[in-house]
Structure 1
Amino acid sequence: MPKQKMTADERRDYILSLLLNSEEPLSGRQIADKVGVSRQVIVGDMALLKAKNEPILATSQGYIYMKDTQEDRGFEKTIACYHKPEDTEKELNILVDHGVFVKDVSVDHPVYGEFTGQLRISNRKEVETFVKHIDSSKASLLSELTDGIHLHTIKADREELLEQAEQALEEAGFLVNKKV
């Protein structure tokens, strides 16, 4: 935590430096503790930073600054999946075990339209953290709004990794084209 009281602009500059220098997502609580304000103040700061076109992304693991990283390059594909909530961990592990980065999940709600949640999951530890966070917060998965049907944007360094991951999901019975 900084030693002296900061102005709001200084605090937002400090938050940007935290995000830029972090290899991991930072939760609103972590940032709030570092700068000595409430988590709600951080939410407001993030909104103001985003309004100034800072590429900050809120994920289930915390805030990240969108740097040009390997996960932002390569091949990308959107796949349609279906499964029960209790199969979420299995689905995500299949993807990351095939070297795939799970960028997001989205659903098409019949009343509100499309909802997209940023996942940014690339390994089993991040899958475990995501599942624990869902369980501990008692939050519903987006796919529960659409009876299990959802889309994932997935990325990989090589196109064949995407194809192998999709084949594994098909074998597990998680692809929509095999369920509908």
Structure 2
Amino acid sequence: MTEGIKLTGAKRREMLLHWLKEAGSPLTGGELAKKANVSRQVIVQDISLLKAKNEPIIATSQGYLYISRTAGGEKGAERIIACIHGPERTEEELELIVDEGVTIKDVIIEHPVYGDLTASIRVSTRKEIKQFMNKINSTNAAYLSQLTGGVHLHTLSARTEDRIDQACQALDDAGILIKD
């Protein structure tokens, strides 16, 4: 869109917001950099500035995502659950959840020094899980849960509580869910 044209910082950030709002799905820093004719590092800085102005942008494993603040439509259900498993069962865990029509918003661990550490995941389909797993594997990144012996939390969201209940039952049947 702006190929060959250098935008001022303010105009570029305005365009970033526009592109993120219009996309409806994550856009990578590389994609945004190409659109804005700047480096990926400039995009990272711009996103940080937008977040500092309370723009609801999150970084997911698939890219940046604008979270709409509009209150219309279905409210849905949300729940934080506790799980435990080794890295080799991560894909299985995620699939058990999304197969019930549930979105995994994040992973949370309790670090002994930093307290709660939260990382956005935002996966709702097996395709998104494959992309997430490919990114983990291609970067040799460690799972946060490896810092806590496999214990971690997920924030789940779905249209109904029943869907989350079904996902929790599937996790329990697999020996992954930690019950209180």
Name the residue aligned to 1:60: 61
Deviation at 1:73, TM superposition (A): 3.1
Name the residue aligned to 1:95: 97
Mapping of 1:23-172 within 5 angstroms? 23-67=24-68, 68=70, 73-172=75-174
Q: Counterparts of 1:29 and 1:123 in 2: how far apart (Å)? A: 23
Q: Counterparts of 1:69 and 1:121 in 2: how far apart (Å)? A: 22
| Contact 1:71 1:155 (8 Å CA) reproduced | no
| Contact 2:24 2:66 (8 Å CA) reproduced | no
Q: Counterparts of 1:92 and 1:156 in 2: how far apart (Å)? A: 14
In structure 1, runs of 5+ residues without a counterpart are none
C-alpha root-mean-square deviation of aligned residues, in Å?
1.8
Q: Counterparts of 2:164 and 2:67 in 1: how far apart (Å)? A: 23
For residues 66-91 of structure 1, the C-alpha deviation after alignment (integer angstroms, 9 at most, x for no partner) is 11499983111111000110110000
Alignment CA distance shift 1:71-1:115 (3 Å): farther
Q: Counterparts of 2:40 and 2:74 in 1: how far apart (Å)? A: 28
| Contact 1:83 1:174 (8 Å CA) reproduced | yes
Which contiguous aligned blocks of 4+ residues in structure 1 show a shift greater than 2 angstroms?
68-73
Name the residue aligned to 2:19: 18
Deviation at 1:156, TM superposition (A): 1.1
TM-score, reference length from structure 1:
0.93
SS in 2 for 1:140: coil
Deviation at 1:5, TM superposition (A): 2.2
In structure 2, runs of 5+ residues without a counterpart are none
SS in 1 for 2:179: helix
Q: Counterparts of 1:74 and 1:97 in 2: how far apart (Å)? A: 17
